[in-house]
Amino acid sequence: MAQSSHLKAQVLLVEADPVLRDLVRLALRRFGYGVCTAGDSATALRLAGETSPDAVVLDLFLPGMGGLDLLRRLKEMPTAAATPVVAISALGFREVVQQALQSGACDFVLKPFDVALLAEKLEQALRVKTIN
């Protein structure tokens, strides 16, 4: 996605909770990211195709199609297959983390989280994407 010179990257934030979605969106903008948001999988798929984000922050527990299924679908899209995805979840069980990573996430952040940590994970993911 074309970025204006002051943005680090364009991020698609997929979070079901509207309050948390707004808080994270505002915080990521303060860290220099452009952010578009989705509260469900269908909207996220549409936006991923329309906006070609540089990275995705994905809540694993979404209404309807769950986050893991959405992650797999994103990785099947030619325009999103190489897009780094940082999964977020309130459940940090080993199985959940493993499933997210096996499904294509490049990293995992446990809720509640410090947005500075999330921004750091995004920067790392974008650096790796740039190198590859």
79-117 pLDDT, tens digit each: 899 999 999 999 878 899 999 999 999 999 999 989 999
Residue from 54, 55, 59 nearest 100 by CA: 59
**Which domains does the chain show, CATH number per domain?**
10-125 (3.40.50.2300)
d(CA 25, CA 13): 7
Residues 6+ apart with CB under 8 A from 41: 14, 62, 64, 65, 66, 67, 69, 70, 73
Q: What is the pTM of this model?
A: 0.91
